[in-house]
Structure 1
């Protein structure tokens, strides 16, 4: 029998959660590549719900949630308990080698709770980009066609095909081409930037005349609410128009719910805001509260088009992440986080809209539920103001509030607080946000 590890052989918690932020930042820059952009320069020692404490003892309110991953907050006790229980049983078998019941049961839940009353099937993967690539593989297998149409401003991942789908060059595509072919982009309907619903639909029809025969298009892929692109909700009229075009030409609709899913918009999935049939849907981020899990859910007959062995991955549907996801769904239900998302989002939007008289560059406050974006535009010139958004972000951090920007121009602040955030902490954060906006 091999000797067991002793306490002296185990890594010390103190080693990784002490020291100074400056010292760890210097080590990071020496040890890791500059291509991994890092927003903050502090290092966490612990976190709970919507708060983080760094190794020097400073407290922050987290309105980033690991880029929309922590809808149920940091270290929710029910999720910790579920993962701990699974950890004591087994950590990995590879589902494709030895399957486990928790994977099957979670697939049943996703099939039942995703939009649409038809028969569905679900595959689990590890990352959002994997989910997107597998959705495209399934769509190509089902249609026998290669082409995909995505939208300006969309973000679908950092792998080569998902980069090709992404509708933003800097920083995601710079220096990495050439990209896979048969990917085309259409304008995302966005009234604030002059693109109406009919403009967008007409551009797709123009693509069919100038760039690709619709008989070669496997799928449209879109975000019901754009994430990195600026928190723009896709108008229901556009989704309906897209469905009509898709049905006319035998094209599938893929909804990328990776950032919008799991109660963020006030519904478990943002596609539920539109009564429009979706063929395939990708999800990730908040499904497992920080453990790597993603997936594709779709019509059963479409999902079955890929041949056995054509889908999967070594870590896909890891049992620890699956356990976390079961707990996430329970927390969303038991703590009524869909309703909570609407309540918190309305409070935030009311506070921001009340400031618009004092802050004329605050051009728009938008978003369903708690997927809220605030956009800054010069009212005299109509030019986006990314510098103003960055200044607000910096001033908020000085007050202990972590914010993220987004948008093709970088002029939007997006709000991604945990939906479990206590009212007192939320009100404190709104006060810090107001101070930062007024000072900027």
Structure 2
């Protein structure tokens, strides 16, 4: 430890003087708050233990005599002191270590260094506190032996696992470093290390299953099943696949990456092999750590029918059948219209025949037409009220009369005021009375002007 200084004092005969020896043990490192306090660079100079001091007393006037040697012992007590020399990453909240739990595919390792600034070799105890849910923390070494004045690197390994209620985001991890292996004296000199880690994981959810239904879903008819998966977490999800289970059959889709805040649609093709009710179950595949796995499954019910015309006929064949049916319907409509016109012509011919034979008196042709129509049609006036038998309905005022010469008879085109039907009648002379071919009302053909 060095040599003591030499002190001189004067004593009178028979005088006694008490001499006090003051021994100061310096610090290992300079005190930043009190630089006047002595310190040493060599840790061994302040090591705890028992030290012996020899004090020699000799009279200056009797230099030939041997000095009297007095030995004193000093016990230097152990001083516990630890210093956190360095934190590799995540030493503060703004500098939190960002960690993508899934895409890194490995454990997170953060290192910090401790230094023994006590005055003796020491064993330190590193205490870890409760970890967030889904985080497993391992400290190596957790009881390091650090020689006096030396440093030791401590590695904190964080393993993440899928757990219900997984905690993501920025978390602070607390570690206490206790000298003297955690003794009472050592705890008083403990130092605390805080590590900040921002763990980011995805949050996947099946939001929708699209399956055809009704006539589109039948035995033997291939259909597409679409499953929508959304990622509402803070991290991207890589290599995500969806498996679809239907009646003991499992179909797995190809893998896709889903960025955070987006969604992807997964498709599988399925051909029902039987009829009946089926439960279609979809689930997310992949070894991923996320916030909640309870929303990774979804199911839907569907009924499979036995027959679907589309299974047996192609689209082109169906179109041909529809066109043929349309043509047949058109032919039927034309045929009905032709038969109707034929009946009208036959009635007109019958009326003309009766007139030619002189039997077209008042009500004569009208009676024949009514019998041919099969329903009684009493004559009505121009106002729409029933009129007496044989009443005449005047031709419409201002109506156009067109005539054509056909043999000895005059063809006149006239419009019935009752049923509004335009028709051509044949008369021998003017004025003339003719029945309406539709409603039977007597029409009056005036003389020529």
Q: TM-score range by the shorter chain?
A: under 0.3
Greater relative CO (CA pairs within 8 A, separation 6+): 1
Larger radius of gyration: 2
- Per the normalisation by structure 2, the TM-score is 0.15
Which is richer in strand?
2
- Per the normalisation by structure 1, the TM-score is 0.15
